[in-house]
Structure 1
Amino acid sequence: MPISTRCLATGLLALAWASPALAQPAPADGAAGAISEAVQGGASPYRPPSAASPDPDDAARAKCEALKEQYNATSKKRSYQSSGPATQNAQGRTIPKIERDKTRKQLQQAYRDNCT
Structure 2
Amino acid sequence: MPISTRWVVTGLLALGSATAALAQQSPGPGAAGAISEAVQEGTNPYRPPSAHTPDPDEARRAKCEALEEQYNTLSKQRTYQSSGPGTQTAQGRTIPKIERDKTRKQLQQAYRDNCT
TM-score when normalising by structure 2: 0.59
* Aligned counterparts of 2:45 and 2:79: Cα–Cα separation in 1: 61
Larger radius of gyration: 1
- Structure 2 counterparts to residues 1-116 of structure 1, below 5 A: 47-116=47-116
Q: Separation in 1 of the partners of 2:71 and 2:93?
A: 37
Task: Tell me the amino acid that sits aligned with residue 108 of structure 2.
Answer: Q
Structure 1: unaligned runs, 5 residues or longer: 1-34
Shift in Å, 1:47: 3.9
Aligned partners of 1:75 and 1:88: how far apart in 2? 32
RMSD: 2.1
By how many angstroms is 1:56 displaced? 0.8
Structure 1 length-normalised TM: 0.59
Structure 1 distance, partners of 2:45, 2:114, is 40
Where does structure 2 lack aligned partners over 5 or more consecutive residues?
1-40
